[in-house]
Amino acid sequence: MEDKRSKVAVIPCDDYDEEKVYISIKRGLDAIGGIGSFVRSEEKILVKPNLLSAAAPDKALTTHPSVLKAVFRILSESGCNDVITGDSPGHGSCDGAFKTMGLTEKDIYGARFTPMNEEVHVEYEDGIACREFYFCKEIIESDAIINVCKMKTHALERITGAVKNVYGFICGYRKAQGHVKFPNDTVFARMLADIHRYTKPRLHIMDGITAMEGNGPAAGTPVDMKVILMSDDPVALDTVYCYLVDLDPELIPTNSQGMRMGIGTDEEDKIDILLCDGERNRSVTKDELFKLYGNGSFDVSRSKPPKSFLNRYSGIMTRLSRRPVINRDLCVKCGICVEHCPVPGKAVEFKNGKEKPPVYDYSKCIRCYCCQEMCPRHAIKPGRGLL
C-alpha cells in the first residue's frame, strides 16, 4: 500500500431503525469520498455480508438486515443495477441465512441473492502465504466487492471484522481444510491478507450497532456499541474497532500481518478517524473516540502472547494454552463438532459412545476453533489451564 493516511469514518447510530441506518451509512460514505469513489454504476458489484450461519438478527451473529438494506438502497440510488449478494457459510446455506434474518428480494432494491456454492480454482503467483485459492465463482465474476462485516469476537483471531470477513470468499466446505493448512492465528491471518491482496475489496463497512462480545463468533453475547465504521482500508478499520474496545491493535494477527503484507495500516499516526456526529464531521484522536463511544469492558481476549523465551518450553506452553472445552450440560451429542474438525483422524471424537459428549485429544488439536464456531448449542468455549 502506498504511503498515505487511511480514513476511517465512525458514525454513531443508536439502533437498527432502517431510515436511521440508511442516513448514517450515507453520511459515512460521503465523509470518505461518496459511493461513486468506490464503485461505478456499470460494474457488477458483490455485497458480501457476514452470514456465519442462519440466526435471527438480534443474536448479532450476522450483519444486520437494516445495514444491508441501506447499502443496497444507496447502490440502487447511484444507478448500480448489477448487484448481487451472498456468502458461503461453513454450515448451512446462504439462502437459509437470508431467510432467517428476514431478508427477501423485495427488500434489496433490485439486487439479487446468489448462493456462492460453486468454486473456481485460482493460482496466485504473487501469494505470500498462499499461492492458490478455491474461491466462490461470484468473487471472480464480480468487478467490485463491498465487504459488509460484523463487529464480533473470534476464538482464533480475537476479533473478526473487515480482514477476517473475506474468509467467506472461500467455498464453505473448503474452510475447514484451510485451518489445517494454516494452523495458527498468524499463518491464518497471512492467508487472509493474501485473499485481500488478490481480491482487493473496494470498501469495508462494519455493523457495530449491536456487536458480539465473549464467546464469538457464534456463541457470544450481543452488546450495544452503537456505531458503524467504514473505510477502504480493512486493517485501519479493524484497528479503530480495537480502539473502541480498549484492545491493543498489535495483538490482533489480522492487523499485524495485514499491515506487514501491505493491505492496510494499524499505525495510529497513519489513520484519520472521522467522527460523523453532530452537525459536522470532525477528526478525532483514538482517546477522544474512546471517551465518547468506547466500551472498556467489552469482553474480548486482551492477554499478551507468551514471551519468546517461554516458547522454548513449548511442552509447558502447550499444556497451559487456550483450548476448546465442552460444557457437558449444554451438549446434545449432535456430532457437528466432530464432523467439522478438520484434523485428519479428528481431534474431537465420541470416544465413549454417542450417549456421552465427544472428547478432545489436545495433542492433535490445532486450536482452529471450527468446533466452537459450529456447535449449534454454544456448548464449546475456549478454556485455559493445565490439560
The reply on whether position 109 binds ligand SF4 by CB under 6 A is no
The answer to the question of residue 218 lying near ligand SF4 (CB under 6 A) is no
Q: Is 332 in the site for ligand SF4 (CB under 6 A)?
A: yes
# binding residues, ligand SF4 (CB under 6 A): 27
Can residue 38 be called a binding residue for ligand SF4 (CB under 6 A)? no
- CB nearer ligand SF4, residue 219 or residue 261: 219
CB of 1 or CB of 330, closer to ligand SF4: 330
- Residues contacting 219, CB < 8 A, separation 6+: 372, 375, 378, 380, 381
Residue from 197, 299, 284 nearest 245 by CA: 299
Position of cell 503484507?
261
User: Torsions phi, psi of 326, nearest 5?
Assistant: -95, 130
- Closest CB 329 distance from ligand SF4, rounded Å: 11
Cα 356 versus chain centre, distance: 33
If one asks whether residue 166 binds ligand SF4 (CB under 6 A), the answer comes out as no
We find the least distance from the C-beta atom of residue 165 to ligand SF4, in angstroms, to be: 20
How wide is the angle at C-alpha 7 spanned by C-alphas 165 and 255, nearest 5°?
40
Task: Give the one residue of 34, 115, 305, 335 binding ligand SF4; rule: CB under 6 A.
Answer: 335
What would the x/- binding string for ligand SF4 be over residues 266 to 305, using CB under 6 A?
----------------------------------------
Q: Residue 164 or residue 197: which is nearer to ligand SF4 going by CB?
A: 164
User: Residues near 387 by Cβ (< 8 Å), separated by ≥ 6?
Assistant: 319, 323, 362
Q: Least distance to ligand SF4 from the beta carbon of 97, Å?
A: 18
Minimum CB distance to ligand SF4, residue 141 (Å): 32
- Based on the shown chain and the rule CB under 6 A, indicate whether residue 325 belongs to the binding site for ligand SF4: no
Indicate which single residue of 97, 162, 274, 347 sits in contact with ligand SF4 (rule: CB under 6 A).
Answer: 347
Strand pairing of 271-275 and 6-12?
parallel
Name which of 298 and 360 has its Cβ closer to ligand SF4: 360
| C-alpha cell belonging to residue 366 | 490445532
The string of DSSP letters for 174-237 reads GHHHHHHHS-SHHHHHHHHHHHHHHH--SEEEEEEEEEEESSTTTS-EEEEEEEEEEES-HHHH
Which span sits near ligand SF4 by CB under 6 A: 112-120, 144-152, 237-245, 329-337? 329-337
CA distance 105 to 63: 17
What is the distance in angstroms between the CA of the first residue and the CA of the last residue of the chain?
Answer: 43
Which of 128, 251, 366, 387 touches ligand SF4 by CB under 6 A?
366
**Torsion sign (Cα): 263, 269, 275, 281:** negative
Which is nearer to ligand SF4, 279 or 329 (by Cβ)?
A: 329
What does the binding site for ligand SF4 look like in residue numbers (CB under 6 A)? 324, 326, 331-337, 341, 343, 347-348, 357-358, 360, 365-371, 375, 377, 379-380
